[in-house]
Amino acid sequence: MQNTAEYTCAYCGEINLTFVDFSAGIQQSYVEDCQVCCQPNVLFLVIDEQTLNIEINSEPEN
Give the pLDDT score at 45. 97
Give the pLDDT score at 44. 98
Of residues 18, 51, 50, the one with CA closest to residue 33 = 18
Q: Are strands 40-47 and 27-33 parallel, antiparallel or unpaired?
A: antiparallel
Give the pLDDT score at 2. 60
State the Cα–Cα distance between residues 56 and 30, nearest whole angstrom.
11
If one counts the domains in the chain, the total is 1
The parts of the chain modelled with pLDDT lower than 70 are 1-2
State the Cα–Cα distance between residues 54 and 20, nearest whole angstrom.
9
CB 37 within 8 A of CB 11: yes
Give the pLDDT score at 62. 84
Domain span holding position 47: 4-60
